């Protein structure tokens, strides 16, 4: 399967500020020498050598992650944050364009819904949208954000063919089943697991990890143990997680402990705090790598989720 990240920021979209752009440009100019711009090759080498927090950005859109199945090319979406708008634009350039999307919600907080009204394929009558959630009133909740005075177009007038499913058991998409698990978050959230050709992917955002998540129960073991990849809530530093106890998000170090506890092979740090700039997020990634090394944890690959990131597994 192929995993694409369209929105990685938590709580609300956080675009780059003019002051942040200016400080990146200033920092780059301080490093540059005449030799670095003497030829196109030198320029490319200089740019390639810049750290990612200067030459790029983690991205400011709220959560949207897609999974394309390898065998059937079915298209699965986790959450409809503002990154969904970018995905819709990218999909309109695909040949052939996908004609069906299976859309799953972790929960209904704003940052996981607000991209749907701006998802272009949703206005195409030839497109089928299948929405799923283990939470009640899915259609009503989605329609509720598309009424005056909040938005001029009603959900029912979006054009595409829409179906809404209350998940009471795993759902089958193509030849894979998608399982869900309730997580700890204000008003609850749900994580999802997709398994295809022996590879297991988990999407687990908006969760404040606690002792029960680490317990070797039958349910936890079947869901988490030995997964190939987890996209997991890493919103806070440890200090901030203590300050924001019960806000429903996790410190990156606790997420590392969780991945180690379950022998998960690849952990993708996700749902970045809107107040953290690119430099701070890459520092957190570095801290997480140090933590893995100091704790002598073996076998976890670590990635910071960024907009545009694509991972195959």
The DSSP code for 157 is G
Q: Which burial class, exposed, middle or buried, applies to 274 when counting CB atoms under 10 A from its CB (0-12, 13-18, 19+)? A: middle
Nearer to Zn ion, 133 or 158 (CB): 133
CB of 293 to Zn ion, least distance (A): 30
Q: Is 36 exposed, middle or buried (0-12, 13-18, 19+ CB in 10 A)?
A: middle
Closest separation in Å from C-beta 10 to Zn ion: 5
R_g of the chain, CA atoms, integer Å: 20
Residues forming the site for Zn ion (CB under 5 A): 10, 109, 111, 206
Closest distance to Zn ion from the beta carbon of 268 (Å): 15
For Cα atoms 168, 169, 173, give the angle at the middle one, nearest 5 degrees.
Answer: 120
| Closest-approach residue to Zn ion (CB) | 109
Residue (74 or 111) nearer to Zn ion, CB: 111
Q: Is 165 helix (H, G, I), strand (E, B) or coil?
A: strand
Q: Residue 46 or residue 132: which is nearer to Zn ion going by CB?
A: 132
Q: Which run of H or of E encompasses 150?
A: none
Question: Which residue's CB is nearer to Zn ion, number 10 or number 83?
Answer: 10
Q: How far is the CB of 82 from Zn ion (least distance, A)?
A: 11
For 131, 231, 249, 283, 308, the CA distances from 194, given in Å and listed in that order, are: 16, 12, 23, 31, 21
Q: Give the nearest distance from C-beta 54 to Zn ion in angstroms.
A: 27
Nearer to Zn ion by Cβ, of 74 and 306: the residue is 306
Phi, psi values for residue 304, rounded to 5°: -90, 125
């Amino acid at each position: 399967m192929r995993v694409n990240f369209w929105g990685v920021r938590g709580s609300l979209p956080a675009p780059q500020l003019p002051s942040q752009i200016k400080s990146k440009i200033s920092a780059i100019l301080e490093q540059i020498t005449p030799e670095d711009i003497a030829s196109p090759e030198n320029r490319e080498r200089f740019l390639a050598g810049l750290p990612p927090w200067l030459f790029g950005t983690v991205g400011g859109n709220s959560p949207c992650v897609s999974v394309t199945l390898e065998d059937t090319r079915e298209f699965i979406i986790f959450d409809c944050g503002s990154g969904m708008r970018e995905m819709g634009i990218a999909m309109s350039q695909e040949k052939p364009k996908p004609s069906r999307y299976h859309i799953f919600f972790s929960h209904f907080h704003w940052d996981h819904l607000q991209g749907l009204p701006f998802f272009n394929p949703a206005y195409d009558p030839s497109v089928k949208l299948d929405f799923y959630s283990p939470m009640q009133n899915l259609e009503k909740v989605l329609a509720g954000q598309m009424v005056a005075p909040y938005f001029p177009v009603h959900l029912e007038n979006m054009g595409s063919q829409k179906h809404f499913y209350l998940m009471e058991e795993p759902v089958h998409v193509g030849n894979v089943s998608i399982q869900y698990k309730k997580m700890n978050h204000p008003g609850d959230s749900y994580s999802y697991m997709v398994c295809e050709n022996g590879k297991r992917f988990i999407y687990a955002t908006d969760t404040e990890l606690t002792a029960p998540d680490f317990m070797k129960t039958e349910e936890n073991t079947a869901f988490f143990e030995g997964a190939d990849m987890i996209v997991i809530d890493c919103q806070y530093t440890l200090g901030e997680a203590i300050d924001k106890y019960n806000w429903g998000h996790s410190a990156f170090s606790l997420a590392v402990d969780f991945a180690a506890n379950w022998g998960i092979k690849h952990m993708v740090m996700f749902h970045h705090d809107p107040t953290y700039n690119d430099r701070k997020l890459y520092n957190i990634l570095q801290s997480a790598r140090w933590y893995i090394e100091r704790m002598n944890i073996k076998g976890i690959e670590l990635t910071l989720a960024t907009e545009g990131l694509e991972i195959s597994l």
